[in-house]
């Protein structure tokens, strides 16, 4: 056997040993870490959405009653308030911004009455405020309002137009789809966006009809897991349960979306809005404000501006918190965040105040673990807590904590 062959054999043996060693490390790694490694190979190639998007969307409050002045004034407020510094950077125009028909070249055209300056001019204005702009489209032949053309058959042309306008975010709805499979329709726009020459966050608004959590990560950055939200307590409760089912599929680059925030629109109490916001943050849902920020109350601004709750949503670990205990409308939700910490939500869905307990066994901690407890709404810290965490929680309210294990 020549020296060259012996050298080659030695290298091969070393490679096998190294491979076994690396495989062992991977197998021993926490499941969330293995999932992240896999996700980088599987995810959409735009490299956006490493944390859930934050911003504002026009639909929940304005629906079709939008115009460029509303968008500009919203951008002005977000940029001049603390909202932009907290991460609310997308200003998203929903349905009804375009003319009912395309132009002679097949292009989408902004409504001449409500958006007379055009989308490119509006995008330039929003960008001048240090913000990003989003727009709405549909994977069918018409949008849900029936007031705009859909993009079916025009995916490449529309994606190029969005890029030319300077669009940063596309919400892509699911109406009037002629029963064509969603994977086919949504994949076409994904490829068109990637080929457009601009990085555009891709939000699939498929309503969870075909279980997009199981396949959409390869083509988009977020996917609706539910139908539309309403400014009602029952809606928040229902959507939280529906979204919880898909918790394991959320990860950096792709997020479960139980629809936009209703905080501040007037249909719920402040305690209910606080629960709504806390749950969406824990579930790593997109935090898209849905009220008229120009006239919102100080309490609404306070809820939306809670830096400690936002930090949970934006945690780089990217693991969606989930329901771990439920009995008679009293629930414990929890999930890991960076630094071996655990976020815990005690949620009272019932009609009377009640005591709720999270045992360490419920939330993945050893019974002997001593933690420091941080209350994210009252902003105080409780040292040296062991075994369980109990609190009295008002009806439709929640308590939200971050638990930090202490060295022993």
- How far apart, in whole angstroms, are the C-alpha atoms of residue 301 and residue 292? 11
Smallest CA-to-CA distance from 280 within 301, 267, 253, 262 is with: 262
Of residues 37 and 66, more confidently modeled = 66
Per residue in 186-201, pLDDT tens?
Answer: 999 999 999 999 999 9
Task: Give the number of other CB atoms < 10 A from CB of residue 44.
Answer: 20
Residues 6+ apart with CB under 8 A from 99: 108, 109, 110, 111, 112, 148
228 assigned to active site? yes
Whether residue 376 is predicted with pLDDT greater than 90 in this model: the reply is yes
The Cβ of residue 42 has, within 10 Å, a number of other Cβ atoms equal to: 12
Q: Is the pLDDT of residue 5 over 80?
A: no
Q: What is the pLDDT of residue 93?
A: 98
Residue bearing tokens 């510094």 = 85
Residue 333: predicted pLDDT: 98
**73-130 residue pLDDT tens:** 999 999 999 999 999 999 999 999 999 999 999 999 999 999 999 999 999 999 999 9
pLDDT of amino acid 44: 64
Tell me: pLDDT of 370 over 60: yes
Can 39-314 and 322-405 be said to share one CATH topology?
A: no
| Mean pLDDT, rounded, of the chain | 91
Q: What is the arithmetic mean of pLDDT over 263-291?
A: 98
**Is domain 322-405 in CATH 3.40.50.300, yes or no?**
no
- CB–CB of 298/335 below 8 Å? no
| Residue 206 near residue 214 (C-beta atoms within 8 A) | no
Q: Are strands 90-92 and 370-375 parallel, antiparallel or unpaired?
A: unpaired
Quote the CA–CA distance of 243 and 7 in Å, as a whole number.
Answer: 55
Contact at 8 Å (CB) between 92 and 56? yes
pLDDT band at 43 (very low <50, low <70, confident <90, very high): low
Sequence ranges of the domains in the chain: 39-314, 322-405
Q: Which helix (H) or strand (E) holds 347?
A: strand 341-348
pLDDT of residue 10: 39
Q: Please write the tens of the pLDDT for every residue from 216-269.
A: 999 999 999 999 999 999 999 999 999 999 999 999 999 999 999 999 999 999
Alpha-carbon span 254 to 239, nearest angstrom = 18
Produce one character per residue of 69-91: b if its CB has 16 or more CB atoms within 10 Å, e if not.
ebbbebbbbbbebebbebbbbbb
What pLDDT is recorded for position 18?
38
Catalytic residue from among 228, 362, 375, 394:
228
210 is catalytic: no
Check pLDDT > 60 for residue 34.
no
Report how far apart, in Å, the C-alpha atoms of 300 and of each of 261, 293, 297 are.
11, 9, 5
CB atoms within 10 A of CB 233: 18
The fold adopted by the segment(s) 39-314 is TIM Barrel (3.20.20)
pLDDT, position 42: 54
Answer yes or no: are the C-beta atoms of 148 and 97 closer than 8 Å. Answer: yes
pTM for this predicted structure: 0.90
pLDDT of the residue at 45: 75
Tens digit of each residue's pLDDT (9 = 90 or more) over 309-351: 999 999 999 999 999 999 999 999 999 999 999 999 999 999 9
The CA-atom distances, in angstroms, between 349 and each of 187, 240, 248, 357, 392 are 38, 12, 24, 14, 13
Beta bridge partners of 254: 251
DSSP notation for 124-183: HHHHHTT-EEEEEEESSSB-TTSSSB--TT-HHHHHHHHHHHT--EEEEE--S-TT--HH
**Cα angle: 395, vertex 396, 398; to 5 degrees:** 100
pLDDT of res. 79? 98
Of 201, 293, 211, 292, the closest CA to residue 256 belongs to 211
Catalytic annotation, pick one of 173, 231, 257, 315? 173
């Amino acid at each position: 056997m020549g020296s060259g062959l012996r050298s080659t054999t030695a290298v091969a043996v070393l490679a096998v040993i190294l491979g076994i060693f690396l495989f062992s490390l991977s197998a021993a790694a926490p499941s969330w870490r293995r999932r992240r490694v896999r996700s980088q190979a599987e995810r959409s190639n735009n490299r956006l959405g490493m944390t859930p998007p934050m911003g504002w969307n026009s639909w929940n409050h304005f629906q079709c009653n939008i115009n460029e002045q509303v968008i500009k004034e919203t951008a002005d407020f977000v940029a001049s308030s603390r909202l932009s510094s907290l991460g609310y950077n997308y200003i998203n125009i929903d349905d009804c911004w375009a003319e009912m028909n395309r132009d002679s070249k097949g292009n989408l055209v902004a409504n001449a009455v409500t958006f007379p300056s055009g989308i490119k001019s509006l995008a330039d204005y929003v960008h001048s405020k240090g913000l990003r702009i989003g727009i709405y489209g549909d994977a069918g032949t018409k949008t849900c309002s029936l007031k705009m053309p859909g993009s079916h058959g025009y995916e490449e042309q529309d994606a190029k137009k969005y890029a030319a306008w300077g669009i940063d975010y596309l919400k892509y709805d699911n109406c009037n789809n002629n029963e064509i499979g969603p994977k086919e329709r949504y994949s076409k726009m994904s490829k068109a966006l990637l080929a457009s020459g601009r990085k555009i966050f891709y939000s699939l608004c498929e309503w969870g009809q075909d279980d997009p959590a199981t396949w959409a990560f390869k083509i988009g950055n977020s996917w609706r897991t539910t139908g539309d939200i309403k400014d009602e307590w029952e809606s928040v409760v229902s959507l939280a349960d529906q979204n919880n089912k898909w918790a394991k599929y959320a990860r950096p680059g792709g997020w479960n979306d139980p629809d936009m925030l209703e905080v501040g629109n007037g249909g719920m109490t402040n305690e209910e809005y606080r629960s709504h916001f806390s749950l969406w943050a824990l579930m790593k849902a997109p935090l898209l404000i849905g009220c008229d920020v120009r006239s919102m109350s100080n309490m609404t601004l306070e809820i939306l501006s809670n830096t400690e709750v936002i930090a949970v949503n934006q945690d780089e670990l990217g693991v969606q918190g989930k329901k771990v205990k439920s009995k008679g409308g009293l629930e414990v939700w929890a999930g890991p965040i960076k630094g071996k910490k655990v976020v815990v939500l005690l949620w009272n869905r019932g009609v009377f105040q009640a005591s709720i307990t999270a045992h360490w066994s419920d939330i993945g901690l050893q019974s002997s673990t001593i933690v420091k407890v941080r209350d994210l709404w009252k902003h105080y810290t409780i040292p040296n807590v062991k075994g369980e965490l109990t609190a009295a929680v008002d009806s439709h309210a929640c308590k939200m904590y971050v638990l930090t294990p202490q060295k022993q």
